[in-house]
Amino acid sequence: MEDMEIDGTEAQPYVLIETGNLPITVGNRPIYTNGRYISKSTPTPLKSTKTGVVYDRRMRYHANIHEDEHHPEDPSRISSIQNMFKAAGCLEKMILINAREVTKDEVRLVHTDEHWDFVAKTSALSEAQLGKVADDYNSIYVNKETALSARLSCGGVIELCKAVARGDVTNGFANVRPPGHHAEINEPMGFCFFNNVAVAAQCLKRDLKIEKVFILDWYDYLCFSIADLMDIHHGNGTQKAFYNDPNVVYCSIHRYDNANFYPGDPQAGHTFVGGGQAKGKTINIPWPRPGMHDSDYIYAFNKVVMPIAYEFDPDIVIVSAGFDAAEGDPIGENHVTPAAFGHMTHMLKSLAAGKLVLALEGGYNLDSISNSALACVKVLLGEHPAKLGPIKPSQECVETIYQVMRVQSRYWSCLKPIYIDSTEEKVPGKLVIDIMDMVKLFRTRADTCATSNLTNLATSYMSDSVYQYIETIINQSYGIIDVDVPPATNDTQKSDLHDLKDLLIFLWDHFVDYANPKKVVIIGAGRGYTMIMRSTACVIMVPGNNDSVPTIAKKGDIVNWYFDNSLVILPENHVYWSKKGGKKDSGKCIQVPGLNNMSIHDKLHILRQDIIEYFHQQLTKFNPTR
């Protein structure tokens, strides 16, 4: 093994891991298998994890020929990582996935024809012409081998992603360069030529019919299903490639510095969330300064990345694994340790049945990227990540995550509470009211400071389903009395709830009867249903999930009247159906599918049209007697 060629150019596997035909013991007796008895001490085999690796020495041929000084995107980046894998004994446990050149047809899934032609033509340019090309673009260098290296880098990521998606290997690490996540649709930039991860994701969708990709860029750009998870810079190219694609979640954790850090794109801010049907599928976590630590990244994972990833439920996870956030990187200036990268990888392994690909992006300190990549690969191979210290995120981290959650909570149910933007013309299922016009404070969605929890009244708003009923009723030229029954928070208030009957009588005597109405409808929702008693035209109740269904006194004809003029709307799993089931003194109870475990707010929104139509019918047929 010491003389093994570690470049992998010949596409030979380092070690093919084969599951042995091991017997399984049953109880305390030896079992008979393969023509012989086996001792009960024979272990039960576990499914082995196969980890792929992509590496090709020809990707080192792309080099800077125009400057004498060292360039950070150095060819030795990938050889340093590969040597680290070998020294740690990881290569002998991995399976080589052969890199091959990406085709024009594949590149055109993301890039333009002109972009393909531009990269291809660099191999025929003179040294002077190559220098001019480098000067004309943003942060690139080129030589005659750049096109070949870029094609191998992109093709290698495609092959690894396909191997993982097919199940040939469980997961894998693409040790490739040049990187890709800054490459735009029609131009190279930021050391990148083809957007490796974006092209690979599109190939998976086209060739293998993969439906949902999670991309994470963890320091530059963070994505789900296709992920720019670990790069300090924003993955501007990847974001734009999937900005309107509802089947790809792109999440990026990156240094932003208020758009003053490379690539300096305002679209790396947290308010850019995707377009059209893909709103919420772009998640930017933009750090406001350098110097972020392990705790900040783990906090971001626990609060935003993993909850959204679980809700999205991807078929595969691709990480744009840049290590310029690592401790010691001269460009990123952050302090993420190999242990933290290992923990993030460990969390991502829980998604998509373990189908996880890490594709190298940035990272410019050779020791930092080698140790960080090794920590990730050890986790891919099945080792536990190294122990982390206490997780204590910085104030800047908490504030950033708070702002991200404010925006993303509109699109992901796992992020609570839901924050409403009052400037939006429409918020599906919600009516937005300026807080200055609110009377019932306990129904508010308040804007609070993440660190002090103080309410900012000027930017707080209310989402109130009851108001939709009020507006509809007023538009029908009906009168209305809206009564809120506050929750009981102590024993005194609980005893006061017994006086709700007196409250209703007071309202009747001083308001209803005074107005001399011909027809009356009473609607009770949540706690308010306990106020419902015998009334006039009809009674509508929507009890809470854990509220009992009230019964009416069995006196004279009141039970029949109540049954004929009431509507009690219950979910299918309400306890009423197992205990009372159809007794007239509970009113006309109906089961409505889809309401199980739903909040009163959501029930009222879903049922609004049906309830309004019902009391219209009751008012039409009702003939009051005086």
Q: Please give the single-letter amino acid code of residue 497.
A: L
Rounded CA-CA distance 407/404 in Å is 5
CB 519 within 8 A of CB 624: yes
DSSP letters for 169-197: SSEEEE--SS--TT--SS--BTTBSS-HH
Instruction: Determine whether 234 is an active site residue.
Output: no
CB 266 within 8 A of CB 358: no
CB 182 within 8 A of CB 194: no
Spell out a b/e string for 494-525, using b for 16 or more CB atoms within 10 Å of the CB, else e. Answer: eeeeeebeeebeeeeeeebeeeeeeebbbbbb
Rounded CA-CA distance 133/456 in Å is 52
In the structure, how many helices (H) and strands (E) does the chain have? 19, 17
Q: Active-site residue among 62, 182, 254, 270?
A: 182
Asked, as a colleague might, if the bond just before 290 is cis with ω within 30 of 0, I would say: no
Rounded CA-CA distance 538/197 in Å is 61
Question: In this structure, is the dihedral angle defined by the CA atoms of residues 179, 182, 187 and 191, taken in order, positive or negative?
Answer: negative
Q: Which runs of consecutive H residues, i.e. helices, occur in 141-293?
A: 146-166, 196-207, 236-241
Residue 399 CB neighbours (<10 A): 15
Which residues lie closer than 8 Å to 46 by C-beta, 6 or more apart? none
Rounded CA-CA distance 13/3 in Å is 14
The SS3 assignment for 37 reads strand
Asked, as a colleague might, if the bond just before 188 is cis with ω within 30 of 0, I would say: no
Residue 244 CB neighbours (<10 A): 15
Catalytic site residues? 182
